[in-house]
Chain A
């Protein structure tokens, strides 16, 4: 058991997306021998399929490595962090477990939106920051300018920043040298009562919920009785260990160390991320300063495509919740879709990831309703309600006014796209705040924007308008009173609650028309004419019609056709099972997706 913390370094890597974080993590593991060449898969830390496909990190996996520097053996704990704006919160948790951070900046792209966000987060957590300049092997690399940019824009000295190429394995030793010489070791008290922070957890079907912890004071070993400080629940520790990156049990984890802890924990609510673990027999007086609770920003209804699979969906969400502290869900009933869940996500990407995982890992067919933000309703009685489901909105007569969440959006872009991006921000109801030329080739645009517009298709539009060059970051910026209305979609005269949305009055007409047109294409012709209407209050603002079907039969049907005909009918019946009955109208699942996304015209 190491009683010496001076040889431990706990650090993470922060970077803007695509600046090479995972590649550097892989190289560091290569150099320290953490991964044998045989088991080294590309982008090792990003182990989930979805992460690999999208090139982003969602789950945090701390890896313990050994490294000999000037004759002394060091223990390096590398904590990988997620790389998308939706996961700012998860980044903050992993930062808590570290003393320092490697800041990667792309040698040709320079400082980007998330570079700054991550730096500020790291500074907030009192981390020592080591800038490194990556991708120096590229012909477009301009390391000197980027160094100047780091000093000017971020205010960090960058003279000694290693110039590396993670891809080519250039400069990795220099990075490790600086990790050891420039980052501080942890400073815990070995003799104090146990104080450990849960910064992530995941579910293992054999061992139960596994907590990923950073020990600040004391030590924990198998057989210890521990207590979760937020709930008071106690458990017997069955195993402690660390990741190399495969899980490796060890005798104990003590002050300064990072690893995992198993205690046959079955109940999700007992492995709260952000909670402090202490000894049940000799508890510490004060928990670690609490993490910010993950706050969902985007909400949508998730329903099983086949109502019979409600319990499967519930079970799947419970399991995902174990792995994903930021996921929020509660049961919800829709007249159109039956029993399902209202789910809260950190952002649209998070929402897509959860949906994909539900569909892939749990083999579920889902219907998802349009994403919404959480609105504030001030009633005529002066009460304030939070509403994230349009259906839960009180009658218009009881509403004094509505407020919507705002964000401070920062867009970095080459100057040639400023015009089109300003147009986009204006179109998304943004209020111009500021424009700064960071350098001749890059501009920072700041806008005050409704979150509800950002979650829609803003990011995709931004990327397409700037040929992928612009980057976005945003932070919450309070609520603002706004002329919002509830728009209903009526099918054959009946409101389909799953299609209702809260929208700005000025946008309602165009959106109502677009939704009606899309639904007209998606809803198959039936035995009667189906009017599709978009309405605000009782007032119809858009209308389309699905004409009655004229021919739906095999006209020529004799002896040889009967069997084939029966098969066709069976197939048609199967197709019908995947439809939802809204009043008298059969609506296919994809109809509910049509209002999720729009082509940008």
Chain B
């Protein structure tokens, strides 16, 4: 039995204007202690895994994992591997920011076995990058993608949509530039302006930001441009060259098992979803206190698999529908406008992906 392993690195070089994630500004002493805490966490968590259970996907996220000083990630992985098995040929992703993804860093990640990088490019418009408080320029970002591709990594690039000063032309130019630079996978996220962030203040002061309808237009433009460049949309916010889908992230939408290491990291094992308390000091001091978010019956798990499966091109498998007590034929007779069913899986038509919540609450839940 395989599972996904997620390793959370809650540090950044600088904090972006829109960010409300659990993270802090990097300091090497705390980072050093954090590596020790991760290993301690892995040792405890291994008890929850079944013997022979190996991670066939590993994802190092953050924060910005690439801010860690050289050797730290190596130490962490070496320690973690003592307790948790990595499967042969596992997909191994590391997130990074363009400004910290250097030749040297690429070299280090290669040595550690990382085979895929996900870069937070976000935008190639200078005014937008400044408004978001990003620490890199457009040119740096393109260079980082090129470097990663050149060094043989599978590369994914993130773009933010609905951000200040953004136009449809920006979106198209972004997709083309990423293809030129060698990315095989794209993710696009709608900006959520959280209260308490610097961007929230700026928007409230009247700084330009696309409206929700304009953001929806940008979304559609993004995935249209992606399709033209060969990226097939396989989830609401993700598109990839065929076969280049992110194996790790698919687990989240398929309600498969994953183990999260690090302060604030989420796990789902044996029908239980939980996370480690978001208290960095306690974590550094060796506490791995878990907070249980939900414990699901087989039927609830099947419903989760259905609801989140509908986010993807692969849809909700017929077995999950059956286990959740959903009659696909009956559903189709009521809501054929929105769904298709081919016997193997129920799918939401792509044109409704962006408005799926209302459809799911009405017809599935």
Contact = CB atoms under 8 A, between A and B. Distances in A.
Interface of A: 526-527, 547-560, 562-563, 566, 568-570, 572-573, 576
Interface stretch (B25-33, B138-146, B170-178, B352-360): B352-360
9 contacts: A551-B213, A553-B354, A555-B189, A555-B190, A555-B219, A556-B237, A558-B249, A559-B252, A559-B260
B362 A553 contact: no
A569 B273 contact: no
A592 to B, nearest CB: 21
B308 interface: yes
Given A551-B212, A552-B358, A553-B356, A560 B266 contact: yes
Contact of A550 (B188, B338, B355, B365): B355
Contacts of A526: 358
B307 A569 contact: yes
Contact of A551 (B188, B216, B249): B216
A526 to B, nearest CB: 7
Contact of B361 (A548, A562, A572): A572
A551 B360 CA distance: 14
Contacts of A555: 188-190, 219, 236-237
Between A549, A554, A555, A568, the greatest number of chain B beta carbons within 10 A of the residue's beta carbon is seen for A555
A558 B189 CA distance: 12
Contact of A572 (B189, B258, B355, B357): B357
Given A552-B355, A572-B361, A573-B361, A562 B252 contact: yes
Interface residues of B, number: 43
B268 interface: yes
Nearest to B235: A557
A451 B294 CA distance: 59
Given A558-B249, A569-B361, A569-B365, A550 B354 contact: yes
A562 B304 contact: yes
B134 interface: no
A576 B361 contact: yes
A557 B236 CA distance: 9
Nearest to A549: B355
Interface of B: 6, 188-190, 212-213, 215-217, 219, 236-237, 249, 252-253, 258, 260, 264-268, 273, 275, 293-294, 304, 307-308, 311, 338, 352-362, 365
Nearest to A559: B266
Contacts of B219: 551, 555
B365 A570 contact: yes
Given A527-B352, A551-B219, A555-B190, A566 B236 contact: no
Contacts of A569: 307, 357, 360-361, 365
Given A559-B6, A560-B275, A553 B353 contact: yes
A297 B361 CA distance: 43
A569 B356 CA distance: 10
Contact of A527 (B6, B188, B253, B358): B358
Contacts of A550: 212-213, 216-217, 354-355
A578 B33 CA distance: 52
Nearest to A526: B358
Between A547, A562, A568, A569, the greatest number of chain B beta carbons within 10 A of the residue's beta carbon is seen for A562
Given A527-B352, A563-B294, A553 B236 contact: yes
A551 B265 CA distance: 28
A549 B260 contact: no
Contacts of B307: 566, 569
B258 A559 contact: yes
Given A553-B353, A560-B266, A566-B294, 10 more contacts: A549-B358, A551-B213, A552-B356, A552-B358, A555-B188, A556-B190, A559-B258, A559-B267, A569-B357, A573-B365
Contacts of A553: 236, 353-357
B331 to A, nearest CB: 15
Q: Which 3 pairs of residues, A with B, have the shortest CB-CB distance?
A: A550-B216, A563-B293, A559-B266
Nearest to A576: B361
B357 to A, nearest CB: 5
Given A557-B252, A559-B252, A552 B236 contact: no
A576 B362 contact: yes
B354 A552 contact: yes
Nearest to A570: B365
Contacts of A573: 361, 365
A557 B311 contact: yes
A570 B293 CA distance: 15
Nearest to A565: B308
A551 B356 CA distance: 8
B258 to A, nearest CB: 6
Contacts of B362: 576
A527 B216 CA distance: 14
A550 B219 CA distance: 10
A570 B300 CA distance: 13
A147 to B, nearest CB: 63
Contacts of B360: 569
Contact of B355 (A527, A559, A566): A527
A131 to B, nearest CB: 63
A576 B188 CA distance: 29
A526 B123 CA distance: 31
Contact of A552 (B189, B253, B265, B357): B357
A552 B219 CA distance: 13
Given A551-B215, A569-B365, A559 B268 contact: yes
Contacts of B258: 559
Nearest to A577: B361
A572 B216 CA distance: 20
Contact of B359 (A527, A559, A562, A566): A527
A436 to B, nearest CB: 58
A554 B308 CA distance: 11
A572 B358 contact: yes
B238 to A, nearest CB: 10
A586 to B, nearest CB: 8
A202 B353 CA distance: 58
A551 B252 contact: no
Nearest to A550: B216
Contacts of B237: 555-557
Contacts of A551: 190, 212-213, 215-216, 219, 354-355
Contacts of B267: 559
A555 B304 CA distance: 17
Nearest to B359: A527
Contacts of A558: 249, 252
A560 B265 CA distance: 7
A562 to B, nearest CB: 6
A550 B338 CA distance: 15
A547 B216 CA distance: 13
A213 B6 CA distance: 80
Contacts of B338: 527
Nearest to B267: A559
Nearest to A571: B361
Given A527-B352, A556-B237, A563 B273 contact: yes
Contacts of A549: 355, 358
B293 to A, nearest CB: 4
Contacts of A572: 357-358, 361
